[in-house]
Structure 1
């Protein structure tokens, strides 16, 4: 399968809980919960305590470049409650977070932007998550 996604057990469980929470809220406009369910259902879920090197996970740092530019950007994909754009901590529910999660370094992904534009990004490098960060705490 081209451009497949791999999710760790922990990421799949966390994203499932977020999706369930969003679906219960019933946001009508854009429900990222449905997108998360689609991502989880079409991803390869790794066995417990297995992490595939070079794949974007929650709390991993991603270096990427917009296709056609030399510009390199860096961000960390986090759970919504940990997002802080000023610190480049980007929620997994943002268009870029949804596009990157589970993807492999050196692949190109398309990000569907709210303006109905699509931006292509090349994932340059993925630095593994810091295991001391992040657990979902929905209240």
Structure 2
């Protein structure tokens, strides 16, 4: 797999999540042990729930561990340029509706569309990559193709994470 871009803040957040998940292991193991001691495992909801929690926890730990060596960590405060790349805050205008939207381009493990950031690997992110102010892009969306004009490309650093 190729390298995966991530902000320093996103990387630190994932490292903290990994530590927190690993710290939960003993409690889940204890819950499984206690549920097992209750007897018949075929009708033991507590046992089933604890095993399910353990499975989800271990899956997330495995996922994060598998991604860590692939990350290229970037300090958002050190990025700059005129093109839409990782770390850029891009304002676009829908050519048909004249509605403007603002996106911070981040990596797939960093992006949170609810906070205004999108993955550079999303359809919108891929359409914007390498583009500059004044360029037009076409994005395939569920409602069809949408044409945007790039209004601005800025590198706001960590301040860009706050919307």
* Residue in structure 1 matched with residue 107 of structure 2 by the alignment: 79
Question: RMSD value over aligned CA atoms?
Answer: 2.9
* Residue in structure 2 matched with residue 56 of structure 1 by the alignment: 84
Distance in 2 between the 1:129 and 1:57 partners? 12
- 1:70 paired with 2:98, answer yes
Distance in 2 between the 1:94 and 1:130 partners? 21
Compare the two structures and name the one with the higher helix fraction.
2
**Runs of 4+ in structure 1 displaced over 4 angstroms?**
none
* Residue in structure 1 matched with residue 148 of structure 2 by the alignment: 121
Distance 1:50 1:90, change over 3 A: closer
- 1:17 paired with 2:3, answer yes
Distance in 2 between the 1:66 and 1:112 partners? 13
- In structure 1, the gaps of 5 or more residues are 1-15, 20-48, 134-139
Count of paired positions: 88
- In structure 2, the gaps of 5 or more residues are 6-77
Larger radius of gyration: 2
Give me the TM-score of the superposition, normalised by structure 1.
0.54
Give me the TM-score of the superposition, normalised by structure 2.
0.47
* Residue in structure 2 matched with residue 102 of structure 1 by the alignment: 130
Distance in 2 between the 1:116 and 1:66 partners? 13
SS of match in other structure, 1:81: coil
SS of match in other structure, 1:97: helix
Distance 1:85 1:122, change over 3 A: same
Distance 1:126 1:17, change over 3 A: same
